[in-house]
Amino acid sequence: MLRMKWPTFALLAGLLSMAVIQGGSAGLAQTNSSDSTAGGKGAKVYCYMRTTGNTHKVSWEAAYALIKRQSASLFKTSPEHAAVMITEAVVNNPTDYPDCGKYLGDLYVK
């Protein structure tokens, strides 16, 4: 069994609890579809690129890169979660992303 001294254990426990709290609050914030969230920013990039004639692949790579960089969580955002974040942003505010609904299905094609 690994034994740690008390200060080391307390520091690790504190960091872990902060990560859990930040991850939980970041997840809640990302379901908000405003442009200030990672999902909202990703949706804005994805939808803009698609409506201006870019392919799904190029638009997805740009949006996913932005979401990974903007996410507040200590853990990497999976492609599946990023697709859901974009979808939620568009569905919650369709007037902010006109004509983008027709592209959402491409996020789920394997």
pLDDT in tens, 11-45: 444 544 444 444 444 443 334 445 789 999 999 99
**Is the pLDDT at 60 greater than 70, yes or no?**
yes
Across all residues in the chain, what is the average pLDDT?
Answer: 79
What is the DSSP annotation of 5-58?
Answer: -HHHHHHHHHHHHHHHHHHHHHHHHHHS-STTSHHHHHHHHHHHHHHTT--HHH
Give the confidence band of 102 by pLDDT, cuts at 50, 70, 90: very high
CA distances from 54 to 25, 51, 58, 91, 100 (A): 33, 7, 7, 21, 13
Q: Tell me the pTM.
A: 0.67
Q: Where are the chain's structural domains?
A: 33-108
